[in-house]
Amino acid sequence: MRRALLILLLLRPGGAAELLVDQAAPTASEAGPGTAAQPFRSVARAVAVARPGDTVLVRPGVYRESVVLRSGGAPGQPLTLRASGPGVVLSGADRVTDWQPCAAAHPLQAKLRQAALAWQPPVLLAGDHPLRLAREPDAGWFVAAGGGTNTLLDPPHLGTGNLAGGSLFFWDVDITAQLTRRIVAHDATKGELQLDGGIYRDRTVEANVDRYRVQNRLELIDEPGEWAVVDGTLYLYPPVGWDPATTPVEAARRDRFVLDWGASQQVVIEGFEVRGGASHGIGSWSGQPQGITVRRCWVHDNQGIGLYCRNVTGLTVEGNLVERNDNGIAVMTCRQGSIVANEVADNAVDGLVISHQSADLTIRQNYLHDHTRWGHPDNMQLHNTVRNLQIVDNVLLHGGQGIMMEAAEDCTIAGNLVIGTAAVALILGHGNTHRFVLRGNTVAYTGWGCVSFSGQACRLERNILCPGGPTSAFGVQTAGELVSDQNLVWRAPGLSGTLFSWGRSWQSNLADYQKVSGQDVHSQFTDPLFVNAPLCSARSENRRLPEFTTERLIVPDARQLFAVGDPVEVGFDGVRRQVTAVSDDSLNLAPPLPELAEQAPTILNWRGAAELRLDLLPRPTSPALKLAAEPLGARLDLAAYRRGDPNGDGQPEVRRRG
């Protein structure tokens, strides 16, 4: 093979070339010249041959390989790796074949299928759709009765069967940490599991508080689309309508990266679907790469980070859809570049993370949404000494937090739309987030508050701040370190509680805050008159999640926020429901939720709105257009961002599914 590669390189004429990869072509091989008549069979072979200035063009197909770039381009001569159109897939998973009828005893034996599998996949896909690892309970959680550092006790739910060899997914409620442990023994007489490692560091199970579910045992399969791997055999309850000939099942296998740019320079990666990796999707942790561009890729269902960008100088991440990975995009120790017009959604932990001495980056027109699941999820996170970031015109919708910041300096956050957080939306935290300018943002429907400051020399100007419930607009831990003015603050009439905090004092109205702080002399407390928006919002009670039903949610201050008959939306799901009963700490809904909530959701009260359609642009009569020389708040069309068209010109910038 090395001799063939050497001969091919010697015979190639000078100048840039287009190398074709088409595994479906009858003449495809690893020894050919990569032409239309004799294309390469694999992407890895083509990039091994490519030289600076070349374009590797890949035809449609599912390429089950790890692609590693050993060399790249040169200044003015990038190496381009491009999909020829839709349907070009780089898969970190192998196809599961030779399905047989289930031979193991099971109540649904006639419906199950099995296949030999020599590894434990973290992800199983049918086509591009993830299947669910079998678990109990199917929805909601069990609550542990007790346990130690590596044991869990719950006789009512663990008093039968044998779960040894399966896994435990555990939620330590007090510190909001989740982890998976293998079950090494199950004592059904005691209702106790023994685990292959500690619960979390030196912590023990907290009785009647911590939550769990058991996973990956044959006897737990009870719904279409569920699977488990037991002793080298994969068992599957086929999804409804599944045809293995047209919708193959593939099991994640390859670790490190599906597509690894290594230490290359001047590389363009464009148009691929990258899925099913047992670790990361696209990226590298090697060397000091330069001039890396990733454009219009769909990166999904990888067990690690979707786009892992480390040590890059000159990074461009543009127009990608990054979803359902463990984390979305991680940018570490990167300098000079842009992250523009990407959609980052529904990753298990964080959406976009900028960290570890990254500097001089523009983050613009991204749509970051639905990061609400594990750990302390953020739509965006900055940490470990980042500097000089321009975070402009992004939409951050429905997250645990909007932007969590620590050890960050000299950054501008301007023109962003931050909606629907479980905790504080913008956290300039840890006493080490300094010299930030927050200008012209709209922050609304927040669980604990809109903005908090604990750093030095920050400015807050021309923002619209609308906490959804009886929570604060902003809080300043170190009084005197914030300059703030020309902001509009609002919350629904009748809501009470702290609206501002300044140092160690708390104020329930703007006038008192102005007297204490000397800030916001020209700010106003008034309705921003959005085009279409909820009246208020509420965060349901996470610590009481096991008390939820599909009809009843535990909501602090429920009577203050809701009334019977109010139209509501749960978790930004777009479904109109109605409040049928309200108590001091709960409300009932109809129609009910489709299943028990996995996390405590945000609830929007749409009383007075014509439809459930978020549009937080100010109306022509809004005071936000008149308070200052320039309009207050973000000027972003949320509907355009949802279409993948942040410019609103009808030409989507973001890669769509499929």
Question: What is the predicted pLDDT for the residue at 653?
Answer: 95
pLDDT tens per residue across span 275-318: 999 999 999 999 999 999 999 999 999 999 999 999 999 999 99
- Looking at the fold, whether 620 and 505 belong to one and the same domain comes out as yes
pLDDT tens per residue across span 287-296: 999 999 999 9
Its domain, for residue 584, covers 534-605
pLDDT tens per residue across span 431-489: 999 999 999 999 999 999 999 999 999 999 999 999 999 989 999 987 678 999 999 99
Please give the tally of structural domains in the chain.
5
Region of poorest pLDDT, from 182-191, 236-245, 288-297: 236-245
pLDDT tens per residue across span 111-131: 999 999 999 999 999 988 999
Q: Which of 407, 414, 296, 307 is nearest to 358 (CA)?
A: 407
Question: What is the predicted pLDDT for the residue at 2?
Answer: 44
pLDDT tens per residue across span 616-627: 999 999 999 999
Taking a C-beta distance cutoff of 8 angstroms, is the pair 396, 403 a contact?
yes
Q: Beta strand pairing status for 192-195 and 151-153?
A: antiparallel
Identify the domain boundary among 85, 118, 133: 85
- Looking at the fold, whether 241 and 390 belong to one and the same domain comes out as no
Question: What is the predicted pLDDT for the residue at 183?
Answer: 97
Identify the domain boundary among 245, 280, 314: 245
The string of DSSP letters for 457-496 reads SEEEES-EEE-SSSSEEEEESSTTSEEEES-EE---TT--
Rounded CA separation 251/505 (Å)? 56
Instruction: Determine, yes or no, domain membership for 273.
Output: yes
Q: Beta strand pairing status for 151-153 and 146-147?
A: antiparallel
pTM for the model stands at 0.96
Amino acid at 65: E
Rounded CA separation 328/346 (Å)? 8
Instruction: Determine, yes or no, domain membership for 444.
Output: yes
CB-based burial, 82-98: b 16+ in 10 Å, e otherwise: bbeeeebbbbbbbebee
Q: What proportions of the chain, in percent to the nearest 5, are helix, strand and coil? A: 10, 45, 50
Q: Is the pLDDT of residue 32 over 90?
A: no
Instruction: Determine, yes or no, domain membership for 509.
Output: yes
- 16 Cβ contact list (under 8 Å, min separation 6): 53, 54, 55, 77
Question: What is the predicted pLDDT for the residue at 14?
Answer: 55
Instruction: Determine, yes or no, domain membership for 221.
Output: yes
Instruction: Determine, yes or no, domain membership for 190.
Output: yes
- Looking at the fold, whether 395 and 326 belong to one and the same domain comes out as yes
